[in-house]
Structure 1
Amino acid sequence: MSLHVVPVEGIGEVTVGTDLARLVTEHAELLEGDVVVVTSKIVSKALGLTSRSDRDTVVDQGTDRVVARRGPTRIVRTWSGLTLAAAGVDASNVEVGTVLSLPDDPDDEARAIRHGIAASTGLQVGVVISDTAGRAWRVGQTDIAIGCAGLSPFESFAGREDVHGNALAVTAPAVADEVASAAELASGKLGGLPVVVVRGLPAHLLLQDDGPGAAALVRAEDDDLFGLGSRDAVVAALGGSDGRGFPTDPQATLALVVDLARPNALPVVVAGEVVEITARRDRPDEVLEAGALRQRVESLALAHRLHTTVRVTLA
């Protein structure tokens, strides 16, 4: 297999109301089965998502919840489920004093572009809307798919065997993300080339319908092991948050939570959702430890997404 990744020349400046499907077909020589990668920036410009409001205000509007915060830097989960710095709000390549927000539904915008191309050319192509994102474990950024249509967002290899006969269980290449990254390599960040055509993808990755979109690549909150930054998780647990950002764990029990809380010599009984701690009334050290233990159990239970009532009994 060989891929051809070709930036589209002549796109120019996109303004409010620009028909992106028409813009693509006027400048790109498309073939059946091509994938058109469009940056989120020009999608947002066409939608009129430029704002002169304070940047922090715009970030607040795009934030579902904060994942991690360090000084002025905020990593947030957006209303569409993406985890991005500053909710993806961008101040580059726009008029000074303005910022640009991401589309509310990037998959819907990808579908609209795909349908527009099909209507004018009769061609079935895939469409990816790309944006730049950091990686929690690595320095630097890469482009990812925040919207897609007509393309499998990922390919599951579960149930297949590798060349040594080992069964694969969880391998699932994020096809749409890889396409977005390839497009960014070809276009570059500074070349003013917001549309790229990717040609040569295997036919089974191209869909006749729109498909599930890039939303299928967003990990559910309950399964996200990195839903909070390290310091932010401590703050959330001690602050009595609503539990969002902490993953569920089917193996977690209140007995495990109590063990993690290190009860030392204090008697602790777990009955259903109730944890009862007993301390001797005439032992101030035990009374103090019982209060501290109660706080640890409550915080650890919240971090494990377990409901509990913790009681302290003075004997």
Structure 2
Amino acid sequence: MAGEHRELTRLERAIDRAANRVLEGKPESGPRAVLVECAVFLLKQAWACVFGALLLVIIVAARLWYPEDALLARNDALTIAAVAIQIGMLAFRLESGRELWVIVLFHITGTVMELFKTDVGSWSYDVDGVLRIGGVPLFSGFMYAAIGSYMVRVYRLHDLKFSRYPARWVTTIVAALIYANFYTHHYVFDARWILLVAVVVIWLPTQMHFRVWRKTLRAPLLAVFAGVALFIWFAENIGTWAGAWIYPHQEASWELVSPQKLVAWFLLMIISVVMVTWVYPPEEPTRTKPMLLRRRRQAR
């Protein structure tokens, strides 16, 4: 049986039962079986992204339809909406209290970085509104919290296991150096490429095992990091297009976020994963029941 943190929420258990009824009797091999597994994987990913997806929808909606002459500044409206999403996630039992601590940690870590990065001119926000710290609107921390929400949710939805995961004290040192480099590279040597090599060396042997429905698959963890970083980069382009924040090269007119940001997001993924592993220690793959869309046991 999986550990306590792998338990589904009440709503997820209801979805689990309904999904099993729909998928009952589906073939275990052949093209239809592959399509079912792909569909389940995509649905799980969408469910894990619900916090970030809702936040992104609100940011885009504010760009398209929020009135310029509204009494409430757009940034303040985004902050209130982000708080409402978080309250809703807890009220509808989409997140547990234990997961909330991880998300709060992401929020604090991200907000501190935002304060520094905006101060040195790496990017900027509109200064309208009162719900902000300096030049950083409070909704910015929820964008990092959305990453934390995704990671803790996908951890249980796919019943993640890891083979040959490096020692946590080693990964913690690397993550701390990466986080420090986000600050220090403005004043001293930029060590991101050295840190990138260190990440590859340390995590190269690690395989992630994840449950879909009937299948438990595995993939190189570094490839997973890269895929998530690419997805965040796409979301970042939508966010900057919507005017949530802008980079210096986008001040005259909107342009794509530099692909070099993929390296920054990849390294940020390392920090994110390490924070999650200190709350939910990595487990070796074992024969356990699937957590979502699990097959019912056949009567003996």
Bigger strand share: 1
Determine which structure has the larger helix proportion and give its number: 2
For the aligned pair, the TM-score class normalised by the smaller chain equals: under 0.3
Q: Of the two, which has the highest radius of gyration?
A: 1
- Higher RCO (CA-CA < 8 Å; seq separation 6+): 2
TM-score of the superposition, structure 2-length normalised? 0.22
